[in-house]
Chain A
Amino acid sequence: MEKFEKLTSVAAPLPLINVDTDMIIPARFLKTIKRTGLGTDLFSTLRFNEDGSDREDFVLNQAAYKDAEVLVTGENFGCGSSREHAPWALMDFGIKCVIAPSFADIFYNNSFKNGMLLIKLPPEDMAKLMEDAERGANATVTVDLEAQEITGPDGGLIKFEIDAFKKHCLLNGLDDIGLTLQKDEKIDAFEEQQNAAHPW
């Protein structure tokens, strides 16, 4: 997994609530056996007209935001299905950080497993960030995970909270499976005890 330390980027505003994983990547694009290449179909319905041309009203199609690495959006982002294709598609497109008032649980977990940083902020901070984001190409933000700070275009600082273990894994690009396998003996012991108590 790639490390996440600090990034500076334009932030794209997507002021919608309950953006579900079918919106992020519709089910018809899940027929892949790979993790890569899903960025092409990210937000497919919002992004493209029926003839495949770009919808000009969609934020990531606008020149100022085409290269945005940060997405600023509404509450309960990522609700719905457990498809990890949702964070894969966002990351494949180039989004490395999503900021919202709240996220759905499974999407939240899936994102961190792929090195994407999700930040939850209270409404007043969200309102300021959304306003900044709407200023376009000149309004870059810097997200510093170590310091747990977002620096706005006018130098304003927003602090954010994050689970210590998730932060540690992201900063160091750690693979969960490798960490867990170091606890192999504990898993063996658990299995032995469980097999004795509940042999079904």
Chain B
Amino acid sequence: MSKATTLYDKIWNAHIVDEQDDGTCLVYIDRHLVHEVTSPQAFEGLRDSGRKVRRADKTLAVADHNVPTTDRSAGIENEESRIQVEALEKNCADFGVELYSMDDIRQGICHVVGPEQGFTLPGTTLVCGDSHTATHGAFGAMAFGIGTSEVEHTLATQTLLLTKCRNMRVTINGALPASVTAKDLILAVIGKIGTAGGTGAAIEFTGEAFQSLSMEGRMTVCNMTIEGGARVGMFAPDETTFEYLKGRPKSPKGGAWELAVEYWKTLKTDEGAVFDEEIVMEAADIKPQVTWGTSPEDVTTIDGHVPNPADEPDEFRRNKMERSLEYMGLEAGTPMKDIKIDTVFIGSCTNSRLEDMRAAAEVAKGRKVADGVRTLVVPGSGLIKELAEQEGLDKIFIEAGFDWREAGCSMCLAMNDDKLVAGERSASTSNRNFEGRQGPGGRTHLVSPAMAAAAAIAGHLTDVSDLD
């Protein structure tokens, strides 16, 4: 009998083109997403060396990081942003790559667009010049972020030189408590393993709490795998996955669909397969999460307090905590619920899908945004915006005083005009609370969409259940 293997092992083994003596493998890449920030230098490299894109048919491009989320009819005002988006358009035209341009309803954040179009499929290898490519692992794909040199390598050869990750499994047993979301699960996991806990690993998420999640929830979990240090996060594909993919524009059709599903059903970890590391948690122990510091591992529960650096024995960590609290303008011991916020951002490749919009709208419905709180609700794609509007979510948001916008990365990384000013504090559904991430001097608290909406209503961090 052959050795029991993990889901990750299976996909890895199925994509090896060549193996060197030292174990480095040439791995075939099935899908490549391209955006405007990390690709211009790669296309320039191809041009300089007279190389072509090997498989333009396996490549899909969309501008997302730089695009305005306000009216786009006049184009992009910022010159550098405009040049970058125009460069993507020219590169795609020159090299024959399909592109969803800014005025295409399919335009949106690449990690929202790929799954939405059925470009992301189980059992595939998928890369993008963006660390949040881990998102696509929700479908049982081996998906990971790469740098620009690897973008160029993929464009030229449709392969990458890789060393295999170690196998890690995170299991959360038990049913998801009401009020706890996918975002809370992954923040709790990062709080436990730390921001480097998954370095060198491919993580498989299992257990009832994870498996009961929708595809949107699974994408939120896999998206933030990189915040725990792991490049790859995965769920074994199941009926929820197939249901989501069936009938998508780029999903297999007819006989090929049946064949594909048959194959996808084989994509799961064998009984008895050994993981290099196992983490087991209980869903009943997990509460709504919020970050207090400047790393996603700096997380506590909404009914918790800002921690005290004096309690940290490790000198490096204590210094980092002190630095974080100074940057965040917080005192040790402050209840998280007492922290006032200035801005609420609902969006990003972590939480901008229809389910996220619904969760935030449910909290917003019939309530009003607190005086002085700025809000941005940014759907993940033009199609999500359209679906949300068909359900009337836009009206709920607008009536409550939220700002309803066009699709893009927006205030997750503040490359367009959507940014915090120094000292401004946000409750944000994005993935990183790094210093300056949402604008120089900006202070970020990561939360779920429902908690972000609740913070907008209350004017301070709060639990949804505390709202009147």
- Report how many residues on chain B are interfacial, defined by Cβ distance under 8 Å: 73
Which of chain A's residues have a CB closer than 8 A to the CB of B130? 81-82
Q: Is the CB of B129 within 8 A of A82?
A: yes
Instruction: For A23, give the chain B residue with the smallest CB separation.
Output: B435
Instruction: From B51, B150, B199, B263, give the contact of A113 (CB < 8 A).
Output: B150
Q: Is the CB of A33 within 8 A of B44?
A: yes
Question: In the docked arrangement, what's the CA distance between A110 and B158, Å?
Answer: 18
Which of chain B's residues have a CB closer than 8 A to the CB of A114? 149
Instruction: For B39, give the chain A residue with the smallest CB separation.
Output: A33
Q: Is the CB of A163 within 8 A of B22?
A: yes
Instruction: From B44, B51, B87, give the contact of A177 (CB < 8 A).
Output: B51
Question: In the docked arrangement, what's the CA distance between A170 and B54, Å?
Answer: 26
Q: Is the CB of A104 within 8 A of B260?
A: no
Which of B40, B146, B148 counts the most A-chain CB atoms under 10 A from its CB?
B148
Q: Is the CB of A113 within 8 A of B121?
A: no
Instruction: From A15, A26, A82, give the contact of B436 (CB < 8 A).
Output: A26
Which residues 3-37 in B have Cβ within 8 Å of A in the complex?
A: 17-18, 20, 22, 24, 26, 28, 37
Question: In the docked arrangement, what's the CA distance between A26 and B438, Å?
Answer: 10
B131 within 8 Å of A (CB atoms): yes
Q: Is the CB of B317 within 8 A of A17?
A: yes
If A18-B320, A81-B131, A187-B28 touch, whether A106 touches B148 (CB-CB below 8 Å) is no
Which of chain B's residues have a CB closer than 8 A to the CB of A194? 28
B196 within 8 Å of A (CB atoms): yes
A180 within 8 Å of B (CB atoms): yes
Which of chain A's residues have a CB closer than 8 A to the CB of B87? 33
B81 within 8 Å of A (CB atoms): yes
Which residues 162-200 in A have Cβ within 8 Å of B in the complex?
A: 163-165, 176-177, 179-181, 183, 186-187, 190-191, 194, 198-200
Which of chain A's residues have a CB closer than 8 A to the CB of B37? 30-31, 83
Q: Is the CB of B147 within 8 A of A80?
A: no
Question: In the docked arrangement, what's the CA distance between A74 and B323, Å?
Answer: 15
Which of chain B's residues have a CB closer than 8 A to the CB of A16? 316, 319-320, 323
Q: Is the CB of B22 within 8 A of A165?
A: yes
- B170-202 contact mask (Cβ, 8 Å, vs A): 1 or 0: 000000000000000000000000011001100
Q: Is the CB of B157 within 8 A of A22?
A: no
Instruction: From B66, B196, B422, give the contact of A18 (CB < 8 A).
Output: B196
Question: In the docked arrangement, what's the CA distance between A110 and B152, Å?
Answer: 12
Q: Is the CB of B66 within 8 A of A84?
A: no
B415 within 8 Å of A (CB atoms): yes
Which of chain B's residues have a CB closer than 8 A to the CB of A163? 22, 24, 163
Which of chain B's residues have a CB closer than 8 A to the CB of A33? 40-41, 44, 83-84, 87
B232: shortest Cβ distance to chain A, in Å?
A: 10
Q: Is the CB of A176 within 8 A of B316?
A: no
Given contacts A27-B414, A76-B196, 7 further A-B contacts (CB under 8 A): A26-B440, A27-B437, A31-B78, A79-B196, A81-B145, A102-B199, A199-B259
Q: Is the CB of A18 within 8 A of B195?
A: yes
Question: In the docked arrangement, what's the CA distance between A164 and B317, Å?
Answer: 33
If A31-B66, A164-B22, A176-B161 touch, whether A79 touches B156 (CB-CB below 8 Å) is no
Q: Is the CB of B84 within 8 A of A31?
A: yes
Q: Is the CB of B17 within 8 A of A186?
A: yes
- Report how many residues on chain A are interfacial, defined by Cβ distance under 8 Å: 53
Give me the interface of A with B, judged by CB distance under 8 Å: 15-18, 20, 22-23, 26-28, 30-35, 45, 50, 74-76, 79-84, 87, 102, 104-106, 109-110, 113-114, 163-165, 176-177, 179-181, 183, 186-187, 190-191, 194, 198-200
Which of chain B's residues have a CB closer than 8 A to the CB of A17? 316-317, 320
Q: Is the CB of B17 within 8 A of A22?
A: no
If A17-B316, A22-B434, A75-B316 touch, whether A83 touches B159 (CB-CB below 8 Å) is no
Question: In the docked arrangement, what's the CA distance between A45 and B18, Å?
Answer: 43
Q: Is the CB of B66 within 8 A of A200?
A: no
Show 27 residue pairs from A and B whose CB-CB distance is below 8 angstroms, ordered by the A residue.
A16-B316, A16-B323, A22-B413, A23-B435, A32-B80, A81-B130, A83-B38, A102-B196, A104-B199, A105-B199, A106-B145, A106-B231, A109-B147, A110-B148, A110-B149, A165-B20, A165-B161, A177-B45, A177-B49, A180-B26, A180-B161, A181-B156, A186-B18, A187-B159, A190-B28, A198-B263, A199-B256
B229 within 8 Å of A (CB atoms): yes
Which of chain B's residues have a CB closer than 8 A to the CB of A82? 38, 129-131, 133, 145-147
Instruction: For A199, give the chain B residue with the smallest CB separation.
Output: B256
Q: Is the CB of A27 within 8 A of B415?
A: yes
Instruction: From A26, A30, A180, A199, give the contact of B153 (CB < 8 A).
Output: A180
Question: In the docked arrangement, what's the CA distance between A179 and B26, Å?
Answer: 11
Which of chain B's residues have a CB closer than 8 A to the CB of A164? 22
Instruction: For A181, give the chain B residue with the smallest CB separation.
Output: B157
B412: shortest Cβ distance to chain A, in Å?
A: 9
Question: In the docked arrangement, what's the CA distance between A109 and B84, Å?
Answer: 25
Q: Is the CB of B413 within 8 A of A27?
A: yes
B103: shortest Cβ distance to chain A, in Å?
A: 21
Which of chain B's residues have a CB closer than 8 A to the CB of A200? 121, 251-252, 256, 259-260
Q: Is the CB of B415 within 8 A of A30?
A: yes
A41: shortest Cβ distance to chain B, in Å?
A: 12
B218 within 8 Å of A (CB atoms): no
- Of all A-B residue pairs in the complex, the 9 with the closest CB atoms, nearest first, are A110-B147, A84-B147, A113-B149, A33-B40, A31-B80, A200-B252, A82-B145, A76-B196, A84-B148
Q: Is the CB of A106 within 8 A of B147?
A: yes
B268 within 8 Å of A (CB atoms): no
- B228-250 contact mask (Cβ, 8 Å, vs A): 1 or 0: 01010000000000000000000
Instruction: For A30, give the chain B residue with the smallest CB separation.
Output: B37
- B48-65 contact mask (Cβ, 8 Å, vs A): 1 or 0: 010100100000000001
Question: In the docked arrangement, what's the CA distance between A71 and B163, Å?
Answer: 26
